[in-house]
Amino acid sequence: MAPTRYVFLLAIIVFVNFHGQTKAVFSVSGLLDILKVAKDVTVALVKAWDLVDQNIEFSEVPIPILHSTEKKLYGKIDRINSQLQDLAARVDNIGTQSMTTILHSLPERVRLELRLNDLLDYITRMDANYRRMQKYGTGDKTYERLTLEDFAESVISHDSSSVVNLVERIHAFVVPNGRGISDTGLFDLLANAMQEVEGDMICSTKQSPQQVLYNLYDAIALTELKGYTMIQFSYMLLRLYGKGNFTKEAQNTRERYEERTNNAVNSVRSAMENVSREFWKCDPKKWAKGESYEEITNLLQGYVQNEVDLNPEGTCRENCAEYTFTKSHGCFQNLYCRQQRTCSGKILDCKFYDSDMWICNANPLSGRRYEFIEYENGKVMGRKQGCSRGTTKVESWWRWLFWHCSYCFCLCDEQGPMSDRYINMRSAISDIKNNKVVTGLRFVKKNRIVHLQIQEGELLPRLNINASSLAWKPVDEYKLTDRKVFNGQDYHTLTWEKRRMDLDDLEADDGHMLTGVRFKEIGSHLNFEIYTTKFDFDTGKLKPEHSKWKDNPNTDVSIKNPRTKVRLVHPDIPIRSTSPSIPTSHSDQYIEFTNSDIDRDVAQTTVPFLDAQKVESLEAVPLSGAGIFHKGRQFFGGFIAPKIITYDVSKFLKAAFPTEQVN
Ligand SMILES: *[C@@H]1O[C@H](CO)[C@@H](O)[C@H](O)[C@H]1NC(C)=O
Ligand SMILES: *[C@@H]1O[C@H](CO)[C@@H](O)[C@H](O)[C@H]1NC(C)=O
Ligand SMILES: *[C@@H]1O[C@H](CO)[C@@H](O)[C@H](O)[C@H]1NC(C)=O
Q: For residue range 273-306, what is the model confidence (pLDDT) as tens digits?
A: 989 999 999 999 999 999 999 999 999 999 999 9
CA–centroid distance, 272 to ligand 2, in Å, is: 10
pLDDT (mean) for 535-539 = 94
What ligand has the least distance to the C-alpha of 247?
1
R_g over Cα of the chain: 33
Question: Is 245 close to ligand 1, i.e. is its CB under 6 Å away?
Answer: yes
What's the confidence (pLDDT) of residue 4? 32
Pocket test for ligand 2, best of 272, 274, 275 (most atoms within 8 A of CB): 274
Q: Pick the residue whose CA is nearest to atom 8 on ligand 2.
A: 274
What's the confidence (pLDDT) of residue 12? 28
pLDDT in tens, 515-535: 999 999 999 999 999 999 999
What's the confidence (pLDDT) of residue 132? 87
* pLDDT-derived band at 403, boundaries 50, 70, 90: confident
| Residue 345: DSSP 8-state | S
pLDDT in tens, 233-245: 999 989 888 888 8
**Residue 594 reports pLDDT greater than 50:** yes
**Residue 18 reports pLDDT greater than 60:** no
Atom of ligand 1 nearest to the CA of 55: 13
What's the confidence (pLDDT) of residue 215? 85
Q: Pick the residue whose CA is nearest to atom 10 on ligand 1.
A: 245
pLDDT (mean) for 599-623 = 95
What's the confidence (pLDDT) of residue 5? 32
* pLDDT-derived band at 597, boundaries 50, 70, 90: very high
Question: Is 248 close to ligand 1, i.e. is its CB under 6 Å away?
Answer: yes
**Residue 471 reports pLDDT greater than 60:** yes
* Most confident region among 117-131, 206-220, 635-649 by mean pLDDT: 635-649
pLDDT in tens, 68-120: 777 787 777 778 877 777 777 777 766 666 666 666 666 555 455 557 778 88
Pocket test for ligand 3, best of 431, 469, 539 (most atoms within 8 A of CB): 469
CA distances, 479 to each of 222, 355, 422 (Å): 52, 44, 11
What ligand has the least distance to the C-alpha of 431?
3
CA–centroid distance, 659 to ligand 2, in Å, is: 25
CA–centroid distance, 135 to ligand 3, in Å, is: 33
- From the list 528, 526, 496, 532, the residue with the least C-alpha distance to 511 is 532
* pLDDT-derived band at 197, boundaries 50, 70, 90: low
* pLDDT-derived band at 399, boundaries 50, 70, 90: confident
Q: Which residues contact 586 (CB under 8 A, 6 or more apart)?
A: 503, 505, 629
Mean pLDDT taken over the chain? 86
Q: Which residues contact 462 (CB under 8 A, 6 or more apart)?
A: 30, 31, 32, 33, 537, 538, 540, 652
Question: Any idea of the CA torsion for 616, 622, 627, 630, to the nearest 10 degrees?
Answer: -20
CA–centroid distance, 435 to ligand 3, in Å, is: 11
CA–centroid distance, 247 to ligand 1, in Å, is: 7
Q: List residues near ligand 2 (CB under 6 A).
A: 270-271, 274
What's the confidence (pLDDT) of residue 661? 45
**Residue 16 reports pLDDT greater than 50:** no
Q: Which residues contact 463 (CB under 8 A, 6 or more apart)?
A: 31, 32, 537, 540, 621, 622, 647, 649, 652
Q: Is 290 left (phi over 0), alpha (psi -120 to 50) or beta?
A: left
pLDDT (mean) for 591-611 = 97
Q: Pick the residue whose CA is nearest to atom 14 on ligand 3.
A: 466
**Residue 380 reports pLDDT greater than 70:** yes
CA–centroid distance, 638 to ligand 1, in Å, is: 73
Q: Which residues contact 576 (CB under 8 A, 6 or more apart)?
A: 636
Question: Is 663 close to ligand 1, i.e. is its CB under 6 Å away?
Answer: no
pLDDT (mean) for 192-197 = 73
Question: Is 458 close to ligand 3, i.e. is its CB under 6 Å away?
Answer: yes
What ligand has the least distance to the C-alpha of 213?
2
CA–centroid distance, 660 to ligand 1, in Å, is: 25
What is the value of pTM for the model shown?
0.87
Q: Containing H/E element for 269?
A: helix 247-274
What ligand has the least distance to the C-alpha of 275?
2
**Residue 633 reports pLDDT greater than 90:** yes
- From the list 309, 322, 490, 308, the residue with the least C-alpha distance to 404 is 308
CA–centroid distance, 319 to ligand 2, in Å, is: 62
| Alpha-carbon gap, residue 540 to 521, rounded angstroms | 34
pLDDT (mean) for 317-327 = 92
What's the confidence (pLDDT) of residue 76? 79
* pLDDT-derived band at 160, boundaries 50, 70, 90: confident
What ligand has the least distance to the C-alpha of 58?
1
| Alpha-carbon gap, residue 89 to 84, rounded angstroms | 9
**Residue 587 reports pLDDT greater than 80:** yes
What ligand has the least distance to the C-alpha of 270?
2
What's the confidence (pLDDT) of residue 499? 96
